[in-house]
Amino acid sequence: MQYRQVGVIGGKGAGPGQFGASLRGIAVDAAGNIYAANDSQITVFDATGRLRRRWSTSQPVHSVAVTGDGAVYTGQIRQIEIFDSAGKLVHTWRDETLLWRVTAIGFVDGDVLAGEATGRAIRRFDSGGKFRNNIGTDNPLNGLLIPNGVVDFGVDAHGIIHAANPGKHRVERYTPAGELLGHIGHFHGTDPAGFGGCCNPTNVAVRDRIYVTEKAGPRAKVYNFSGDLEAVIAADVFDANCKNMSIAVDRRGRVYVADTVKLAIFIFEPEAV
C-alpha cells in the first residue's frame, strides 16, 4: 500500500484559514469536514479544504472530537467545552483533577473518553459528564508512559480503545472498563515497522486500520490490527522538529496529519492498486 499527498490546509499566519501559534488537534466528521484545534479556537474546513467557520474557545484548545450528530467536544486545561455544530457553547465540564490537560477526546457506547496527560490516563465519563472509570492507569504497573506530554487514542468499530503508549513503543488495546487486552508495536531504531526514538508513537487514530504518528523523525504510518506495518504514509513532508502530530482518518480512508511546526494539515490518500 502506498499513499500520496493530495492537499495541505492551513499554514502559519493570521489570514483566514491559517493558524497563529499552535495546531494541537484535528478531527473529521461523517461528512468529511475537518476540525482543527488551533490556538484558542476551532476552525472548520469542508472536505475540499475551504474554510467554513471558526469560533473561539475560552482557553487554548488541546484536542477536538465530533460526535455523529455534530456536537464538537474540545479538550482544554481543566475542562471540556462542548459546542453544537454551529459553534454555540452548549456545556462546559470542569474538573480540577480529572481534566487537568485534555489532549484527546473520543466516544464509546454513548460515553465520552478524555485523554488526560498529567494523570497519564484516559478518563471515561457518561454523556452527562459523570466520571465512570480510568483506562490505562493499570497495565499492570506504571500505566501509560508519556514523556511527550500527550495521551492519545482511537476507538474502533467494536468499541475497543487503542491508546498510544510511547514510552513502551506500543499501541495498547483496552476495553471501556479499562481491561488491557493486548498491544501491537515494538521498539526499533531503523526498521520502519518498529517505533523509534525514546517514545513513539505519540498519536493514534483508528478506523479500518491503526494509524499513528511518530516524532524525531516525524512520520505517519498505518498498521493492520495484527500489528503488521502496511505503509509509511509520509515522512519527509513534515518539519523535522515536529512532535505530537495529531492524526485523523475519514471514512474514505483519507489521512489527515497536523504538522505542529508548519501549522498545516497534510492530507494523504491511498493510491489505487
Partner 1 sequence: MSEPFTRRDLLHKAARGTVLATLGGGAAFLVQKAHGQVVWQVDAARCLNSRLGVVGVEACRLCTTECVVALSAVRAVNEYSRCGRCNICPAYFNITSAVDERGLPSEKLCPRDAITRKPIGKADPEDPANNFYEYLIDEEKCDGCGKCVMQCKEPLGLGSIVLRIRYDRCVDCNRCAISRACPKDALIQVPVEQALRNDGVH
Q: Which is nearer to partner 1, 73 or 195 (CB)?
A: 195
- C-alpha 145/C-alpha 198 separation (Å) is 11
If one asks whether residue 97 binds partner 1 (CB under 8 A), the answer comes out as no
| Contacts of 85 by beta carbon, 8 Å cutoff, 6+ apart | 69, 70, 71, 72
Rounded to the nearest whole angstrom, what is the least distance from the CB of residue 185 to partner 1 in the complex? 10
| Of positions 55, 187, 227, 253, contacts partner 1 by CB under 8 A | 187
If one asks whether residue 242 binds partner 1 (CB under 8 A), the answer comes out as yes
Rounded to the nearest whole angstrom, what is the least distance from the CB of residue 101 to partner 1 in the complex? 15
| Under 8 Å between Cβ of 112 and 68 | no
Sheet holding 255-259, edge to edge: 3-10, 264-270, 255-259, 247-249
Distance of CA 233 to the CA centre of its chain: 16
If one asks whether residue 241 binds partner 1 (CB under 8 A), the answer comes out as yes
If one asks whether residue 123 binds partner 1 (CB under 8 A), the answer comes out as no
If one asks whether residue 188 binds partner 1 (CB under 8 A), the answer comes out as yes
| Of positions 167, 192, 227, 270, contacts partner 1 by CB under 8 A | 167
Q: Among candidates 4, 1, 17, which has minimal Cα distance to 265? A: 17
Q: Which is nearer to partner 1, 168 or 209 (CB)?
A: 168
**Residue 255: strand pairing partners:** 249, 268
Q: Among candidates 58, 73, 62, which has minimal Cα distance to 22? A: 62
If one asks whether residue 199 binds partner 1 (CB under 8 A), the answer comes out as yes
Q: Which is nearer to partner 1, 31 or 198 (CB)?
A: 198
Q: Which is nearer to partner 1, 33 or 203 (CB)?
A: 203
